[in-house]
Amino acid sequence: MLKTSLTLAAILTMAAHGDPAKVPAKKDAPVAKKEAKAAPAKKKDGAKKAPEKPKNSKLEQARKDQEELALHNALAAEKSKNETNDLRAELAVLKLEKEILTEKLALATIKESSKSADAISKFMAEKEKLTREASLAKLEADKLASEVKALQAASSLKTSALQAQISEIEAKEKRENYANATPQYLANPLLKNGTLVVSDRRIPFNGPVTSRLADQVTTRINYFNNKDPKKPIFIVIDDSPGGSVMAGYRILKAMEGSEAPVYVVVKSFAASMAACITTLAEKSYAYPNAVILHHQISQTFMFSSLNLTDQKENYEDMKKWWARLADPISQKMGITSDEFIEMMYNKTKSGDWTEFGDDAKKLKWVDNIVERIHETSLLKNPDAKKPVVTVTRTSEAGATSRPDGLVPAIDDKGNPYLILPRRNPKDVYLMYNPDGYYRFK
């Protein structure tokens, strides 16, 4: 700055004295000397070259102008340089500050990079640690899983072995519940030793004779006929007090219409309509101590008022029903219907003629007396499942589900009874009911 100021001051001083010859730099001096030396040589040419002086003046003037212009340019340059010194100084400061900031930024970057590197290093170390721990945990888990699988496999084997043993035991028990036999089908089921052989073509007949019982018996007669029209069918009566004449007659007609022979077996008690079915069967069998009871048709009128004409009509209907049942029975006995009625009342004043099986055979109420009955159809242990209760007069009155459809009840005096189903208005009951156990609702 000081040197620049001195140079500018010198230029300004020379400009003030008006001495442009002294302004040019030292390099211009040799040119002036050459021109001074060259001047005498031109004078040797004589007077002819004198007019050229004006040219030298112009040249000199041009040189002066040139020098003055150069001086002005230098002055302008110095002025411009002087004017921009502050800007350059400020620029230098800014550059310096920039460099400082750059260095600081670089330093911060280095520090941050160092921190990041440390963090990354720690992260990688932690990751590696966690990876090792995870791998170890996985190995332990795999080991435990293998042990569990081994235990499960061992347990499964034990369970399978136990299950196999249970299955074997159950299979043996099931097999034990079945007899090692097959049903026997004999054209003549009564053996010489007095044994009656009953096949699986048997139809249970128990309880009051109702429409439901008639359905059960007749449908099975039809089924066994369709299956085999030659093998005998057995209607087995354990205990029946008789019942509806209409329902009983349906059973009789199904027996008569069967191509396969239908035999009736009485084990305990057959009365009224059940006795008619026994006596009118193609063949009938009974134990010696089985009880068979015949009596007249009777009818009880409850909750109804009948005039003489109605009573006469009912009487005529009852006579017709009695003729259809009593006439065939009396003919088989070799007596008339009236004689049959007379003999009933000769036995008892109530007309309920009761005979044991062996005496009933003498009266032709039953055809054969048997000492034993071989039920060849009973091939499964009856204790293997809940047995079917045989419905008799002595069955538990509190039962609510009965195969014959009767409804148990208790009257005001505490006596149990069974409610009979509503009968057809033209139907009558041929039933032994001395104690009123069977009642209409």
Written as one letter, the residue type at 230 is: K
Q: What is the 3-state secondary structure (H, E, C) of the chain?
A: CHHHHHHHHHHHHHHHHCCHHHCCCHHHHHHHHHHHHHHHHHHCCCHHHHHHHHHHHHHHHHHHHHHHHHHHHHHHHHHHHHHHHHHHHHHHHHHHHHHHHHHHHHHHHHHHHHHHHHHHHHHHHHHHHHHHHHHHHHHHHHHHHHHHHHHHHHHHHHHHHHHHHHHHHHHHHHHHCECCCCCCCCCCCECCCCEEEECCCEEEECCCECHHHHHHHHHHHHHHHHHCCCCCEEEEEEEECEEEHHHHHHHHHHHHHCCCCEEEEEEEEEECHHHHHHHCCCEEEECCCCEEEECCCECCCCCCCCCHHHHHHHHHHHHHHHHHHHHHHHHHHCCCHHHHHHHHHHHCCCCCEEEEHHHHHHCCCCCEECCEEEECCCCECHHHCCCCCCCCCCCCCCCCCCCCCCEEEECCCCCEEEEECCCCCCCCEEECCCCCCEEEC
- Interatomic CA distance for residues 438 and 395, integer angstroms: 13
Alpha-carbon distance of 235 to 277, in angstroms, equals 10
Main-chain phi, psi angles of 212, to 5 degrees: -65, -45
Q: Catalytic site residues?
A: 272, 295
Euclidean distance between CA atoms 424 and 250, whole angstroms? 14
